[in-house]
Amino acid sequence: MSKKRVAIFGGTFDPPHLGHFILAEQIVNRFDLNEVIFMPAGRPPHKKNKDISPDFIRFSMLKLAVDNNKNFLLSDWELKNDGYSYTAKTLAQFVPQLDAEEVFFIIGADSLAEIFKWKEPEYLLSEGKFIVFNRYGYNFEDILSQPKYLPYLDNILTYQGLNIEISSSFIRSEIKKNKSIRYLTLDRIAEYIMENNLYR
């Protein structure tokens, strides 16, 4: 039986930024994980009406980050799947393929607060395990003290760590204004964005 502890970190990553990578590295440290699998979403259901960069662009930017970290992996599983990228589908179909003793999903406190609006929330919370990081304006105690969360508390771990308030939307906005994005993402990702004239 594998002794590996793995976490899946999903998102649009459009573009990925230092906040993502700092958070993932700190969660590896805090929860003694062997790997974090970055999994860019193909068609996120909560962003149906928003323009998202092509799959290969987002995948390529993440690859520039994970290639230099032995604890970071990259999966195109959701990108290759038809239909919307539901976490319930990933839990049912992707997680069983992993050679790991424990698999967690990394989500923010904002997502935890909304999780009962997700597809199959009871299945997710009973069969999945979550590492939830703090978000400005959200309080773990306030969320988890609600009765609907009580049956699932054993599957929800909280991480009160560094709050890196960088957002992909801020980076896109700065690029549109012709401003520097230095120190907001990795240099190699910033170079890729400029070379491919993204977010103009």
Q: Which CATH number fits domain 3-167: 3.40.50.620, 3.40.50.300, 1.10.10.10, 3.90.1170.50?
A: 3.40.50.620
Helix (H) or strand (E) holding 102: strand 102-108
pLDDT at 45 over 70: no
User: Predicted confidence band at 135 (pLDDT cuts at 50, 70, 90)?
Assistant: very high
Given its phi and psi angles, is residue 121 left (phi above 0), alpha (psi -120 to 50 degrees) or beta? Answer: alpha
Q: Per-residue confidence at 62, pLDDT binned at 50, 70, 90? A: very high
The pLDDT, as a whole number, for residue 165 is 86
The total of other beta-carbon atoms located within 10 Å of residue 68's CB is 9
Q: Which of 38-42, 45-49, 151-155 has the highest mean pLDDT?
A: 151-155
Position 162 scores a pLDDT of 83
Residue 44, pLDDT score? 65
Reported pTM? 0.94
Distances (CA, A) of 18 to 12, 147, 150, 165, 166: 14, 35, 33, 10, 8
- Please determine, for residue 163, whether its predicted confidence score (pLDDT) is greater than 60: yes
Predicted pLDDT of residue 156: 98
pLDDT at 118: 96
The arithmetic mean of pLDDT across residues 60-65, rounded, is: 97
List helix spans (H) across 32-70: 55-66
pLDDT at 79 over 70: yes
Which DSSP letter does residue 1 get? -
Please provide the average confidence, as pLDDT, over all residues in the chain.
94
The residue among 66, 88, 27, 92 whose CA lies nearest residue 186 is: 66
- Report whether pLDDT(47) > 70: no
